[in-house]
Amino acid sequence: MNQTERRAARYRFSDRMRNVPESFLSELFRVSADPAIISFAGGLPSTGYIDAPGIADAAREVFDEYGRTALQYSTTDGHLPLRDFIARRYRSRLGIPATPDEIQIVNGSQQCLDLAAKILVNPGDTIAMERPGYLGAIEAFSLYEPSFCAVPLTASGVDVTAFAEAMERKRPAFFYGIPNSQNPSGISYTEPVRRAVARILEDTDTLFYEDDAFGELFFDGKPRPPVKKYAPDRVIMSGSFSKIVAPGMRIGWIYAPQEILAEFNVAKQAADLHSNFLCQMILARYLERHDLDAHVAPIARAYGENCRLMCDLLDDRFPPAMTHTTPQGGMFLMATLPPGVAGMKVFREGIRQGVAVLPGTPFFVDGGGEETIRLNFSATAPDEMLEGMARLARVIGGLS
């Protein structure tokens, strides 16, 4: 027993802590912060597109006009002008009849994962999710001791036949999915798949947790209809300003039927009373003063150019046996390594040679993924990407 284990043995922790998979997120953030390492491992938006002057102006206005009010306690459901903005954007952009009463502000969409599982899952209940699935969701849900059911992804989205079988056999508490530019794969559901998922849900008592963290970041600028549009009573959605305004503000939201939102509100109040009210007011003022579409458009275009560059480099400079997804939006793609090359070895050797990727195994709740890696293309400039991909090509070539 090492020193850390001896120290831990002095304390009693809940049984649920033994069920949480070892976190790769802390390692991810550590390597992303090392300036000597070119990182494709993180999930960071490009710092260059954070409008610090505009947010600073909004903050000054809030302090000048609201001062002490902005620094006081507030309501659990969140700042009404911000919720109204989100609802109006759902109506105008996606054509779904959202109201502010159906929206609650959370501390980034990561908190939404935790609270949704808290109110919907008992120990032993089934949570269904995509295979591969989002690592942060796996970690958040694992605390509530579920049984996971993995539903494979295809190039068109979730495998509809496998999805229908899972709904019938497992009757999960909810299915968690990311139809737009899925993390880690970058795959987006086609519209027929979205409609099929909605039809299947209507015949079940299962909810669909539709994580829409990347819906604003399609490279062509065209929104895709959410599954919620086709099954409004069976879908809860989460969204976030982290990828399109500023992640440090930690402002996300849940959009759900009011019966679900009432229970969510109880859990949210018990967790933290309310999200950061000052940041909510600053963000609401910023959005009032700025055109969000005009702000997001160049971000999506830049990410599209980065993605195309990364895909071209993978096609031209890596072993022919290596394949990858080709995203339509978002921040990530997934690559399948040549036979005999393991993602964990690529991760370790990559760190030694100054480039970081994320091995695929943490994204597979049922095991597997050893031959995959996830790559982020949003946080590196083109010249940095060229050098980083050259380093990665050397790593994989040396291991092949």
Whether the Cβ atoms of residue 148 and residue 366 lie closer than 8 Å to each other? yes
Give start-end residues of each CATH 3.90.1150.10 domain in the chain: 22-50+294-399
- Listed in sequence order, the DSSP H helices in the chain are 3-9, 25-32, 52-70, 80-89, 108-120, 135-142, 160-170, 191-202, 227-230, 258-272, 277-289, 292-317, 343-352, 382-399
Strand order in the sheet with 372-376: 323-324, 332-336, 372-376, 358-359
CB-based contact 193:152 (threshold 8 Å): no
Burial of 67 (0-12, 13-18, 19+ CB in 10 A): exposed
CATH 3.40.640.10-classified regions of the chain: 73-289
Q: Which residues have a Cβ under 8 Å from the Cβ of 357 and sit 6 or more positions away?
A: 40, 41, 343, 346, 347, 350, 373, 374, 375, 392
Query: Which of 251, 257, 222, 228 shows the shortest CA–CA distance to 239?
Result: 251
Is-cis flag, bond preceding 223, omega within 30? Answer: no
The residue type found at 250 is R
Running DSSP on this structure, what letter comes out for residue 247?
A: G
Measured CA to CA, the distance from residue 152 to residue 154 in angstroms comes to: 7
- What class does CATH assign to 73-289? alpha beta
C-alpha distance from residue 104 to each of 77, 117, 179, 260, 336 (Å): 5, 16, 21, 11, 38
Q: Which residue, 239, 293, 282, 270, is CA-closest to 104?
A: 239
**Rounded to 10 degrees, what is the CA torsion of 238, 243, 248, 252?**
-10
**What confidence score (pLDDT) does residue 42 get?**
87
From first to last of its 400 residues, the chain has per-residue pLDDT tens of 444 554 557 888 888 887 777 766 666 667 667 788 999 998 899 999 999 999 999 999 999 999 999 999 999 999 999 999 999 999 999 999 999 999 999 999 999 999 999 999 999 999 999 999 999 999 999 999 999 999 999 999 999 999 999 999 999 999 999 999 999 999 999 999 999 999 999 989 999 999 999 999 999 999 999 999 999 999 999 999 999 999 999 999 999 999 999 999 999 999 999 999 999 999 999 999 999 999 999 999 999 999 999 999 999 999 999 999 999 999 999 999 999 999 999 999 999 999 999 999 999 999 999 999 999 999 999 999 999 999 999 999 999 8
Phi and psi of 353, rounded to 5°? Answer: -100, 10
Does the domain at residues 22-50+294-399 carry the CATH identifier 3.90.1150.10? yes
Cross-strand bridge partners of residue 152: 131
Torsion of CA 41, 47, 50, 51, to 10 degrees: 180
pTM here is: 0.94
